[in-house]
Amino acid sequence: MHFGPHLLLAALEGLVTSAVLALTALGLSLVFGVMRVVNVAHGEFFMLGAVLAWAISTAISGHPALGFLAALVIAPLIVGAIALIAERLVLRRLNYNPEATIVATIGMLYIIQQLALTFYGPEARPVEPPFSYRILLPWFGYSGYKLSVIAASALLLITTWLVLTRTKIGLIMRATQYDSETAQAFGIPVDRVYGGVFALGAMLAAIAAVLIVPISQAHYLMGQDPLLLSFIVVIIGGLGSLRGTVVAAVLIGLSDGIISMFFSPTLAKIIATLLVAMVLVFRPQGLFGTASR
Amino acid sequence: MSEASPAKAYALHLGVIALLLALSFVLPGYYHGLLARIMVLAVFAMGYNMLFGYAGLLSLGHAMFFGAGLYGAGLAIIQLGWSVPAAFAAGLGCGVVVSLIIGLLALRTTGVAFMIVTMMFAQVFYLLILYFATWTGGDQGQVVPQPARVLEFGATSLDLTNPTVRYMSALALFTIVLLITLAIVRSRYGRVLVAIRENEERTKMLGYDTFSNKLMAVVVSGAICAASGAAYALLFGYVGSSFASVQYSILPLLWVLLGGAATTLGPLLGTLFMYYVIDVTSGYTSAYLLIVGIALILLVLFFPKGILGTIRQRWLGWLP
């Protein structure tokens, strides 16, 4: 294959990564933006989504699309419920103190990971894609499912954006993010908003995982990389900024796809992590964000 | 805090050291080795406590400093064939250099950003170890050969693989670091750190250069952790990348939280207690990460001050 088509393939793979990453990072960004909580267990909610998708799709017989659709609906709901319980039982009692919540979410990370290992096992298990149509390009055939992942993610991102900017729920969330005390004074149930946002963040990660699991398999350690990449995206995009998150996700996903196709993936990760740490050190508001209040 | 009774505090610390010395002659083989390991790791926790407990800086990247000491000492022996004291010095030196660089960069941030930045630098350090697998051994790790782990004093030589020598070396390191920590905590400098923890703006206003004080704390903390890492490589003879992974940044935080942040003996107590819990529960389950997770959550929810912190608050106000 020549360089051009090779690059196109790398870019397509990168876009699939970007699509999933944007959803996952959006969840992390919402939780940080509204609640000021750094959720270290976010990657584990992603993993739970994938593992549940496997469990649901194997439990349902018949056409693979049936199981997949069921997983796409049920898995995020279960993960959201788990997140809500965790938020009510732990984070709320800590008064959302930033440092205490990081320690607590690290604890959740270990608990979820270990439970997944105990009940799901150390194997990586595949989920059958709902359809296996290949789109034939002049140089190579490309999986139609992967393209549909990009479309689905774009659709979800636009929906989230519309909800945030055009609905009353979005208004309430933005008011809470802007100034939670004043929001409380105006009769907004800040406490319930926090619970809802934490569950929503986890559900976004779970949806992203269900979408990706027919491409890469479900494994109990699969939450680590999305967590780190989501951090990178959220930091580069500016904490709490939706547009910045999407732009950064496309940027990181594309460069990750292209760099790791031509260079060693470990080296790509080293460079990316180092660059992001430097961004955080020298430009803490992110590349696209405005200075924090 | 501990103004009233320095004698009591010193007596307590010397008593703990004497107790550890006495235990060396009583403990059966398995626990003897385990306690030596716990003392070395307690040094790691004491280094972490220096920064987290006293200066109030929560780092999620201390595995990098432990790893700098571990690899600095281990690779000096394996790749360069250095002697034991030179290798220990190399590990310590690596820790000082790494912590100085990281401190200069990471201290530009505060709060949550500091935690994430330290975690990311530690991740880079970890990935570098995997990337340069030809020298470091990658995720397989490397064994420090037994003949190299001998301390020569002229005619006499001490074999660090001998259980008694190993225990005494670990105890010596523990004693030195414990006394250094106690001295720092009771010094003027220690009080400046606590002042920074309690209210950085006010400390700055009183004329203290908080940045260089914090940088000093990072370097002291990094050096102590590196000393622990170097001792681990020399005494237990294994250098592996898992010691630089995120998990080894979380563990000292857990030990310190459990024992009591900003208490000199808390790190030892926390490490000891956690190992004991894992040892007891390993009979029932192999899921020790589950216990670590539950312990972390219960601690921040119900005992944010840890064991010794709670004791100090309730009964013994003079505990340093």
The answer to whether the CB atoms of A104 and B115 lie below 8 A apart is: no
What are the percentages of helix, strand and coil residues in chain B, rounded to 5? Answer: 75, 5, 20
The reply to whether B111 falls in a domain is yes
- Does residue A91 have a pLDDT over 70? yes
Could you give the number of structural domains in chain B? Answer: 1
The reply to whether B129 falls in a domain is yes
Could you give the number of structural domains in chain A? Answer: 1
The reply to whether B177 falls in a domain is yes
User: CB-based contact (8 Å) between B217 and chain A?
Assistant: no
C-beta atoms surrounding B297 within 10 Å? 22
For chain A, the average pLDDT equals 87
pLDDT for B42-94, tens place per residue? 999 999 999 999 999 999 899 999 999 999 999 999 888 888 889 999 999 99
The reply to whether B263 falls in a domain is no
Q: Closest approach of chain B CAs to the CA of A269, in angstroms?
A: 8
The reply to whether A252 falls in a domain is no
User: CB-based contact (8 Å) between B183 and chain A?
Assistant: no
The answer to whether the CB atoms of A104 and B108 lie below 8 A apart is: no
The reply to whether A67 falls in a domain is yes
Name the DSSP class of A124. Answer: -
Q: Closest approach of chain A CAs to the CA of B133, in angstroms?
A: 11
**B143 phi and psi, to 5 degrees?**
-100, 130
- Does residue B320 have a pLDDT over 80? no
- Give residue B37's domain range: 6-245
| More reliable by pLDDT, B5 or A290 | B5
C-beta atoms surrounding B289 within 10 Å? 17
Among A137-151, A255-269, B197-211, which range has the highest average pLDDT? Answer: B197-211
The reply to whether A131 falls in a domain is yes
Model pTM score: 0.84
B268, HSE (Cβ side, Cα atoms, 13 Å): 19
- Does residue A53 have a pLDDT over 80? yes
The reply to whether A157 falls in a domain is yes
Question: What pLDDT sits at residue B211?
Answer: 92
The reply to whether A182 falls in a domain is yes
Question: What pLDDT sits at residue B91?
Answer: 95
pLDDT for B99-152, tens place per residue? 999 999 999 888 778 888 898 899 999 999 999 988 888 888 888 887 778 877
ipTM of the complex: 0.81
What span, in angstroms and rounded, lies between the C-alpha atoms of B135 and B146?
19
The reply to whether A49 falls in a domain is yes
The answer to whether the CB atoms of B116 and A235 lie below 8 A apart is: yes
The reply to whether B259 falls in a domain is no
- Does residue A251 have a pLDDT over 50? yes
- Which residue of B115, B293, B297 is in closest CB contact with A114? B293
- Give residue A65's domain range: 3-221
Please report which residue ranges of chain A form alpha helices under DSSP H. Answer: 3-35, 42-59, 64-86, 98-120, 144-166, 168-178, 180-185, 190-212, 224-237, 242-262, 265-282
What span, in angstroms and rounded, lies between the C-alpha atoms of B175 and B13?
9
Judged by average pLDDT, the poorest of A190-194, B39-43, B88-92 is: A190-194
Q: Closest approach of chain B CAs to the CA of A108, in angstroms?
A: 6
- Partners of B287 on chain A (C-beta within 8 Å) are 114, 117-118
Interface test with A, best of B51, B58, B116, B282 (most A CBs within 10 A): B116
